[in-house]
Amino acid sequence: MAEPDLITRQNDRNLAIQWARRMFMRERWAILDTETTGIDSKAEIIQIGVLDGASGKPLMDNVLVRPNAGFVPQQASDINHITTEMVAKSPDFFKVWPQLKNILSNAGMIVIYNAAYDTRLIQQTANLYRLQVPPYPVNCAMLNFASFKGEWNQTKQGYKWPKLQGGDHSALGDCRATLKLMEMMADADLAGITSMFVETLQEQP
């Protein structure tokens, strides 16, 4: 895949801005984030945060989840500050699932920063309890923000995936950081770059 020219980058940025604006026009949508025991195929969800996109009110306020494995690895605790002791008396995923399932089924649209990761962890954790995950619409805020920034990753041949700024590594804190990021994108000016302008830039030393 060839590195995009300035016109393509600007068009991709504009599409990301328009995406954010459309989200804020929706009556029903939510932002979701999870904290987990790791990133591999055995990792589980240990905290869930969901923010109502329209009102900004929490739907799930850093709900702690006791992992099926019974403990939180130290490497995970170092990042999300959730310890085995903190989740020892928390409900397991089976007990919090009805609330989460209801949100997934009825939110209208779920926005996640790095949607591929959190959707995998939802499915992965549900599988441990033989729970059926309903189909739900998801948009990835990270991929849209990557297009908004337009920084190219030559190795991966795509836009760089930016780290979420302003989060506190709690599920709800990262939801709020995602909301602020989307507000910034929605407030950005749409702009176009003409082919004449590109030619002028190319001619400059």
Q: At 158, give phi and psi (nearest 5°).
A: -170, 175
SS3 45: strand
- Reading the block at residue 173, the tokens are 């804190």
Give the pLDDT of the chain (205 residues) as one tens digit per residue.
Answer: 678 888 889 999 999 999 999 999 999 999 999 999 999 999 999 999 999 999 999 999 999 999 999 999 999 999 999 999 999 999 999 999 999 999 999 999 999 999 999 999 999 999 999 999 999 999 999 999 999 999 998 888 899 999 998 888 899 999 999 999 999 999 999 976 544 444 444 444 4
d(CA 150, CA 61): 33
Tracing tokens 């002028």 back to the chain, one arrives at 200
| DSSP state string for 129-143 | TTPPPPP--EEEHHH
50's CB contacts (< 8 A; 6+ apart) are: 30, 31, 32, 33, 58, 59, 60, 100, 103, 107, 172, 175
Instruction: Catalogue all structural domains in the chain, each as residue range(s) with its CATH number.
Output: 6-149+157-203 (3.30.420.10)
pTM: 0.90
